[in-house]
Amino acid sequence: MSIELSNLNHALNSRINGMVPAGIYRAEIVRATVETSKSDNPQIVYNLEIESGSHAGAIVMKFTQLTEGTIDYVIDDMHLFKISIRDMNDLPAILESLVGTLVDIEVSYREGYKYPVPRFVRMICRADRTYID
């Protein structure tokens, strides 16, 4: 008999996220989707798995709101991935193509905020392991 436990994934991820100290990490994009935020806005959610060191296997989540005021962040991230986005309706497929991509991320913490705030520093290689200069 199989017991469904996916309802605990949010709690698990929030505990794992809190264990990664500030610093630069190599990570793999293991999930990248468009979802609805708590405030009912569309957002990009990246699950980034730390590749090595004492925090290998930890998942850090990166959230990017999809609003007119935050579109520059989306463009900057896509530029880092060497992707030119022309139609936001293409975004879900583009994000899916990023799964498996290796990146360097910088994790920091905001004052009074217990969860990490990662930002992409550079892309190391694409999901097919094509390395970038």
Residue 1 falls within a domain, yes or no?
no
Amino acid at 59: I
pTM of the model: 0.83
Structural domain containing residue 21: 6-125
Joined together, the tokens standing for residue 9 give: 């994934």
Q: pLDDT tens digits for the chain (133 residues)?
A: 788 877 777 666 655 555 788 999 999 999 999 999 888 999 999 999 999 888 899 999 999 999 999 999 999 999 999 999 999 999 999 999 999 999 999 999 888 877 888 999 999 988 888 876 6
Where does the chain have alpha helices with state H? 9-17, 71-80, 91-98
Q: Check if the beta carbon of residue 63 is closer than 8 Å to that of residue 44.
A: yes
What's residue 38's pLDDT?
87
pLDDT at site 7: 75
Query: What pLDDT does residue 47 have?
Result: 96
Determine, yes or no, domain membership for 46: yes
The per-residue pLDDT for 8 is: 73
| 80 domain residue, yes or no | yes
| Exposed e or buried b per residue across 8-43, where buried means at least 16 C-beta atoms within 10 angstroms of its C-beta | eeeeeeeebbeebeeeebbbbbeebeeeeeeeeeeb
Is 133 inside a domain boundary?
no
Q: Are strands 23-36 and 42-50 parallel, antiparallel or unpaired?
A: antiparallel
Cα-only R_g, the chain: 15
Q: What is the pLDDT of residue 16?
A: 56
Are 32 and 95 spatial neighbours (Cβ–Cβ below 8 Å)? yes
Residue 52 CB neighbour total at 10 angstroms: 10
| Count of the separate structural domains present in the chain | 1
Question: Is residue 132 in a domain?
Answer: no
* CATH code of 36's domain: 2.40.50.140
